[in-house]
Amino acid sequence: MLFHSSIRKELARSFGATLVVLVTVIMTMTLIRTVGEASRGTFNPTDVMIIMGYTVLSDLPTILSLSLFIAILSVVTRMYKDSEMVIWFGSGRGLLSLVRPMFRFCWPILVVVLVLAMFVLPWAFGRIEDLRDKFEKRGDIARIEPGQFQESANGDRVFFVEQNSDGKQTGNNVFIATKEAGKDTVTSARTGRIEIIGRDKFLILKNGQRLEKDMVKSELNVSVFETYGVRVGVDDSSSRSYIPVGSIPTLGLLSKPVPVNLAELSWRIGLVLAAINFVFLGIASAGMNPRVGRVANLGFAFLLFVVYFNLLVLGKSWVESGRVQFGVFLIQLHGGAALLTLLWLLKRHNNWEFRLPSRRARS
């Protein structure tokens, strides 16, 4: 049908433009947040772009749902504004007849949302946690930054190097503060270099002094040295021991139905069900009132979207705490939203009007 083809083309243009704008906004916000976390030492600064990509990929189900909702809402509202819906209604068709062309356009996007929510989202979270864990387990030498005090991996040493060269293998004005076995030690040297002796890595210091204070006996020993070697920690290549629930695959959540896993599963399934409900909600909420303009209708529809997704987040916490059952939450939220949207759509399709009885009729 020519009308179905034209409406799908318009939906594709509106969906593509909305998706580009939303992805750009999310990427900018994610970049700012990731750079801030990297500056606090949570991530490696060189991995900022990779982490931003994984974060945007995990947010794509929500972005696609919102883009699809805005595209349907704007296209149908434009049809009301240009009186195309008047012609559509005059030919004996109603709002329900728009469901078929809308779903012919939406079903590939809904499949993508399903794949992203069920499989790609936990994979992206897992890669982010791997990068975070790898950065936390880096060796002492990798932690050293010129002009900054850096703590060792186990927290018993503090390093400072004024400047370095030769690929961080040598440095000037080295300072090391150590606290172990009831002793506080402060070591300083003019220069230092990295040497590998056997399987261990040593920091060889030149022309410095060492202050050692015994906390039990309150004794202070000062020694001057020409060459002094300090064994430093190496990178920990072990796999991460902590597995956050967001990075567990969907099949793993199903195999162990504890409240925490069911809460995460309700979020992933909810992303898919919400995307389907937003197709009907976009058709039902579209309209044009010349007195208030187009912005008021779009603002109301966007408010519905925000409320829906906030209920998703709130329901996830309820399922995790055991306040509501997993199946009950899915039926109440998504089933209730689908029922209310269908009633709203039937009301507008059949032009039902609900009026309170007049005073004369009540008398």
Q: What is the pLDDT of residue 233?
A: 58
Q: Tell me how far apart the alpha carbons of residues 326 and 50 are, in angstroms, rounded to a whole number.
A: 34
Q: What is the pLDDT of residue 202?
A: 76
For range 17-29, the mean pLDDT: 91
Whether pLDDT at 313 is above 70 = yes
Contact assessment for residue 138 and residue 296, using Cβ atoms and an 8 Å cutoff: no
Q: What is the pLDDT of residue 240?
A: 62
Q: Tell me how far apart the alpha carbons of residues 36 and 95 are, in angstroms, rounded to a whole number.
A: 48
Question: Left, alpha or beta for 210 (phi > 0: left; psi -120 to 50: alpha)?
Answer: beta
Q: What is the pLDDT of residue 224?
A: 84
Sorting pLDDT into bands at 50, 70 and 90, what band is 353?
A: low
Whether pLDDT at 289 is above 80 = no
Q: Lowest mean pLDDT: which of 10-24, 89-103, 206-220, 335-349?
A: 89-103
Q: What is the pLDDT of residue 206?
A: 85
pTM score, whole prediction: 0.76
Q: What is the pLDDT of residue 265?
A: 93
- Where are the chain's structural domains? 2-136+241-352, 140-232
Sorting pLDDT into bands at 50, 70 and 90, what band is 100?
A: confident
Q: Tell me how far apart the alpha carbons of residues 61 and 117 are, in angstroms, rounded to a whole number.
A: 6
Q: Tell me how far apart the alpha carbons of residues 281 and 298 are, in angstroms, rounded to a whole number.
A: 12
The whole-angstrom distance between residue 260's C-alpha and the CA centroid of its chain comes to 18
Q: Tell me how far apart the alpha carbons of residues 291 and 285 are, in angstroms, rounded to a whole number.
A: 17
How many Cα atoms occupy the beta-carbon half-sphere of 141 within 13 Å? 23
Q: In terms of C-beta density within 10 A (0-12 exposed, 13-18 middle, 19 or more buried), how is residue 240 classed?
A: middle
Q: What is the pLDDT of residue 175?
A: 79
Sorting pLDDT into bands at 50, 70 and 90, what band is 241?
A: low
Q: Tell me how far apart the alpha carbons of residues 22 and 16 are, in angstroms, rounded to a whole number.
A: 10
43: three-class secondary structure by DSSP: coil
Instruction: Give the pair of three-digit tokens for residue 49.
Output: 């772009």
Whether pLDDT at 38 is above 90 = no
Q: What is the overall mean pLDDT for the chain?
A: 80
Q: Lowest mean pLDDT: which of 3-7, 50-54, 138-142?
A: 138-142
Q: What is the pLDDT of residue 358?
A: 55
Q: Tell me how far apart the alpha carbons of residues 124 and 281 are, in angstroms, rounded to a whole number.
A: 30
Q: What is the pLDDT of residue 264?
A: 92
Report the candidate in 141, 161, 254 with the shortest Cα–Cα distance to residue 203: 141
Sorting pLDDT into bands at 50, 70 and 90, what band is 123?
A: very high
Q: Order across the sheet with 157-165: list the strands.
A: 150-151, 157-165, 170-180, 183-197, 200-214, 219-232
Whether pLDDT at 167 is above 60 = no
Instruction: Give the pair of three-digit tokens for residue 121.
Output: 């989202």
